[in-house]
Amino acid sequence: MRRRATLAAALVLGLLVPTVAAGVTPQTTVTAIEGEVMCPICGTLLELSDSPQAQREKVYVARLVAAGETTAEIKDELVAQYGPAVLALPRASGFDLTAYLVPVLAILVAVLILAFSVTRWRRDGQRPVSGGTATAAPHGADAERLEADLSRYDL
């Protein structure tokens, strides 16, 4: 309880004091940032974490917000301090871009495969069977055996 009160006080101070003192207009809010970054140790969103590391990170975010930094600048600063794992969503650049590209490519490939397969099935279904023996009527002994079997199960 005391720790929460201290944290809340630190957040309020972090938000208000430098802003008032320097006349800086915040470009974003602590709440907005906390919903977009992680507590790297906990592996959860910062807004859901209350670990000691998360509390320090929240104070740090509050300080950056109070200094008038934009969301992008704050995220850059957090990555510089805590590493890329601090971002809730991977960046759309470099190798991380694959996180966005791979699902889109996978869906495209799946749609193409499906379209190709459906076209092929339909074409095969419409093609007349020529010279096949599969549908030819049985002859001779086969025909007699078939008749006998059918009459045995005749209801």
Partner 1 sequence: MGARSFIAFLAVLAVVGLLAFGLLSKGNVKIAVGDPVPDKVLPALPGPGHGSISEHRGHWVLVNLWASWCIPCGEEAPVLERFFRRHRTRGVTVVGIDVQDNHDDAVAFLRDHPTTYPQLRSVGNERSAAFGSIGVPENFLVNPRGRLALIWRRPVDDRILRERVAPLIEGGK
What is the binding site for partner 1 (CB under 8 A)? 40-41, 52-53, 55-57, 60, 80-86, 98, 102, 109
CA atoms within 13 A on the CB side of 65: 19
Torsion of CA 44, 47, 50, 52, to 10 degrees: 80
Q: What whole-number distance in Å separates Cα of residue 6 and Cα of residue 14? A: 12
Q: What whole-number distance in Å separates Cα of residue 72 and Cα of residue 64? A: 11
CB of 38 to partner 1, least distance (A): 11
Q: CB of 79 within 8 A of CB of 42?
A: no
CB of 56 to partner 1, least distance (A): 5
For partner 1, the closer CB: 9 or 143: 9
For partner 1, the closer CB: 28 or 61: 61
CB of 127 to partner 1, least distance (A): 20
For partner 1, the closer CB: 22 or 102: 102
